[in-house]
Amino acid sequence: MAIEEPGFKVLEKDGSFELREYAPYVVAETRVEAAFEDAGSIAFQRLFSYISGNNVAQREIAMTAPVTQSRGEKIAMTAPVSQVADGRAFLVAFTLPAACTLETAPRPQDPTVQIRAVPAQLIACWRYSGRWTAGNYRENEVLLRGRIRERGLIARGEPVLARYNPPFTPWFMRRNEVLIPVARPPAH
């Protein structure tokens, strides 16, 4: 059975590297203060509860892929536009089905779950298999950053871990990706 993923077009492909153009999509997201390996498990329970009907509409939402994890940031209450990296927090998100918009996605009952629109963007991707460890992720992030530099692209945001498989999938069969928003350099 196919699981829905955000829509994108592959612009370039070279081994594990892809340059993708993503269409806008919507996520259910939660912030977790935990170690890298623990954050996904803690957040999964909150987000799975949301798509299982813990929302104001009491509506079930189809599971999609990927589950993403990125470094979390705290937003200062006194200056909503400034952000301070926190160091031990991660944002974990479920991509919602394409039929869900910011307006139509059911509101979460859990105040730690937020609905957020992700704009259209250019993404550099590095695909790999293996365990969901911080070391494996960082090793592949370094490879992706090298490919971004080689291609003359400009990183425009924090890296994101994208996980596509359930935890019972054997580690060697897992599809994982590091995703970094990028821009092409300005033409001279």
Task: Read off the tokens for 84.
Answer: 């301070």
Which residue in 66, 86, 100, 72 sits closest to 177, CA to CA? 66
Note down pLDDT in tens along the chain; length 188 residues. 568 999 999 999 999 999 999 999 999 999 999 888 888 889 999 999 999 999 999 999 998 999 999 987 543 333 222 223 346 789 999 999 999 999 999 999 999 999 999 999 999 999 999 998 889 999 999 999 999 999 999 999 999 999 998 888 999 999 999 999 999 998 86
pLDDT of residue 80: 28
Specify the residue for token string 């692209």.
153
pLDDT of residue 2: 64
DSSP 108: B
pLDDT of residue 85: 36
Specify the residue for token string 């993404």.
123
Please state which CATH number belongs to domain 25-118: 3.20.80.10
End-to-end CA gap in the chain: 47
- Is the peptide bond prior to 166 cis by the omega test (within 30 degrees of 0)? no
The answer to whether domain 1-24+119-188 has CATH 3.30.530 is: no
Domain boundaries, the chain: 1-24+119-188, 25-118
Helix (H, G, I), strand (E, B) or coil at 97: coil
Specify the residue for token string 């301070």.
84
pLDDT of residue 73: 58
CA atoms of 103 and 99, how far apart (whole Å):
11
